[in-house]
Amino acid sequence: MGETASQSESDTTGKSAWPKTMDDTIDWEAVFENPDTGLIALLSQAQSAHALRDISLAIVKQLYTRKNDPAEIKKFTSELQSLIPDEISNDLLPGLIDGVVAILHLIKDERIRKAAEFVEYKKKLKRKK
């Protein structure tokens, strides 16, 4: 389900400082797309293919911090290793950034969907009271 401020405050990844929506879930659109502080803006600063891979792996590890997340980390790590192998040329950096951004958009869309499900769940609980 989505994360609330109280759930994320106890984590060690800094998610408690991430922007929130009116529903008190993480504002995934801002986390990913903010032109100054967003994850995609961070990726765009990579100066080499290897730096892009390192930044991307750090982002995945930052996003997936729950005890059931290791499979997701493994999946995205494998995708990133395939997309950006050790012997890749930096000439391909613009296309690689586009590829990683596409992966991040999938993650963002999933996070937004889960947050919306959580908000609906909270509303149903309120109606039952």
Sorted by where each begins, the domain ranges of the chain are 5-128
> Each residue of 98-125: pLDDT tens digit?
999 999 999 999 999 999 999 999 888 8
pTM value is: 0.80
Q: Are 56 and 44 in contact (CB under 8 A)?
A: no
Q: What is the pLDDT of residue 65?
A: 87
Mean pLDDT, to the nearest integer, of 47-61? 94
Mean pLDDT of 10-32: 81
Longest dimension (CA), the chain: 59
The answer to whether the beta carbons of residues 121 and 25 sit under 8 Å apart is: no
Per-residue pLDDT, 5: 39
